[in-house]
């Protein structure tokens, strides 16, 4: 079996491949563009000619740039070769709820499985990860377990998770969805995006700061003229305490990264953060 991934996949894909015993040697890496999207014209050659089963892992939301793979172009290429297509949408799959941002996920419905986290964008407590499989028969084939004392109803909790016993993680996720409703979830996601755009616009006006990508979703990455200045600014922001901005490496250079993910962050918080960064960058 080979697992075909983008160069800027999340590290959890490699870890899952190791857990599953497939082995790192069977990971095939497809190059990505400047913002971390898998290059569609590079997928077909990566799939190769062999008859081995293939899993293609695509990404909805790159952790630094928020970029989405062009799934509408990529999924048909993978399916033509009989591959299983999985989409890692840890925080990005939620874009599908917003009429304004839905275009980012266009074509994603053709995948075979998707993963997302309610504990990220939906803001429920850790841990509420979700794996969604198109055909329940696939999930049952992988996970169903035996036990004459178990009561089977057709599709049971052990058919959809590795655990036989687990706490009711679905309750907080259900409660958030139930209380927000479809419109409320969309509004939450759009607020995160609005905050990211406001942050990017404000950062672009600060002397010395360079934005590293188009802001299409919730992530904003930037840097100063030198790596030393970028690292120093990151440390100063954390010490000053208005906001948490984490350090990153992007294409071999130091960067700083804001990930909008809290429902509670307001436009005023963005203004306060920008004011703090402005004075720290000047210093």
Q: Among 87-95, 135-143, 215-223, 260-268, which window interacts with ligand PLP (CB under 6 A)?
A: 87-95
Of the candidate residues 1, 12, 20, 141, the single one contacting ligand PLP (CB under 6 A): 12
Residue 10 or 37: which CB sits closer to ligand PLP? 10
Torsions phi, psi for 186 (to 5 deg)? -60, -40
**How many Å apart are CA 65 and CA 7, to the nearest integer?**
14
Residue 15 or 103: which CB sits closer to ligand PLP? 15
Hey, which residues between 137 and 166 contact ligand PLP (CB under 6 A)?
none
Q: Does 258 interact with ligand PLP (rule: CB under 6 A)?
A: no
Burial of 94 (0-12, 13-18, 19+ CB in 10 A): buried
Q: Does 90 interact with ligand PLP (rule: CB under 6 A)?
A: yes
CB-based contact 176:118 (threshold 8 Å): yes
Of the candidate residues 117, 191, 237, 273, the single one contacting ligand PLP (CB under 6 A): 117
198 CB-near residues (< 8 Å, 6+ apart): 267, 270
**How many Å apart are CA 114 and CA 134, to the nearest integer?**
8
- Kindly state the smallest distance separating residue 177's Cβ from ligand PLP, in Å: 18
Residue 127 or 138: which CB sits closer to ligand PLP? 127
Q: Does 10 interact with ligand PLP (rule: CB under 6 A)?
A: yes
Of the candidate residues 68, 84, 91, 158, the single one contacting ligand PLP (CB under 6 A): 91
Residue 117 or 159: which CB sits closer to ligand PLP? 117
244 CB-near residues (< 8 Å, 6+ apart): 238
Q: Among 27-35, 40-48, 88-96, 137-145, which window interacts with ligand PLP (CB under 6 A)?
A: 88-96
Rounded to the nearest angstrom, the gap between the alpha carbon of residue 15 and the centroid of all alpha carbons in its chain is 16
Residue 246 or 265: which CB sits closer to ligand PLP? 246
Q: Does 172 interact with ligand PLP (rule: CB under 6 A)?
A: no
- Kindly state the smallest distance separating residue 193's Cβ from ligand PLP, in Å: 16
Q: Does 88 interact with ligand PLP (rule: CB under 6 A)?
A: yes
Binding mask 14-53 for ligand PLP (x = CB under 6 A): ----------------------------------------
Hey, which residues between 54 and 83 contact ligand PLP (CB under 6 A)?
61, 63
DSSP letter for each residue of 200-251: HHHHHTSTT-EE-S---SSEEEEE-SSHHHHHHHHHHHHHH-S---EEEEET
Cα 66 to Cα 210, 258, 260: the distances in Å are 17, 10, 10
Burial of 157 (0-12, 13-18, 19+ CB in 10 A): middle
Binding site for ligand PLP (CB under 6 A): 10, 12, 61, 63, 88, 90-91, 117, 129
């Amino acid at each position: 079996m080979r697992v075909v991934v983008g160069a800027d996949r999340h590290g959890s894909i490699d870890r899952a491949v190791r857990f599953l015993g497939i082995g790192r040697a069977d990971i095939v890496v497809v190059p990505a563009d400047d913002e971390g999207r898998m290059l569609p014209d590079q997928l077909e050659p990566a799939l190769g000619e062999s008859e081995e089963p293939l899993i293609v892992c695509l990404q909805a939301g790159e952790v630094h740039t928020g970029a989405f793979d062009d799934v509408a172009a990529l999924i048909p290429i993978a399916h033509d070769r009989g591959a299983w297509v999985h989409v890692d949408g840890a925080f990005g799959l939620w874009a599908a709820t917003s009429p304004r941002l839905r275009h980012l996920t266009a074509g994603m419905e053709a995948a075979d499985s998707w993963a997302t986290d309610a504990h990220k964008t939906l803001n429920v407590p850790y841990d509420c990860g979700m794996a969604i499989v198109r055909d329940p028969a696939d999930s049952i084939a992988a996970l169903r377990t035996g036990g004459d004392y178990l009561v089977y109803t057709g599709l049971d909790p052990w058919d959809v998770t590795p655990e036989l016993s687990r706490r009711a993680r679905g309750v907080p996720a259900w409660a958030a969805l139930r209380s927000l409703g479809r419109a409320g979830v969309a509004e939450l996601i759009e607020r995160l995006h609005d905050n990211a755009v406001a942050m990017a616009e404000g950062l672009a006006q600060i002397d010395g700061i360079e934005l590293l990508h188009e802001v299409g979703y919730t992530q904003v990455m930037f840097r100063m003229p030198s790596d030393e200045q970028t690292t120093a600014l990151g440390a100063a922001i954390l010490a000053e305490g208005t906001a948490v901005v984490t350090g990153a490496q992007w294409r071999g250079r130091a960067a700083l990264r804001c990930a909008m993910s809290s429902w509670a962050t307001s436009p005023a918080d963005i203004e306060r953060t920008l004011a703090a960064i402005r004075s720290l960058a000047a210093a």
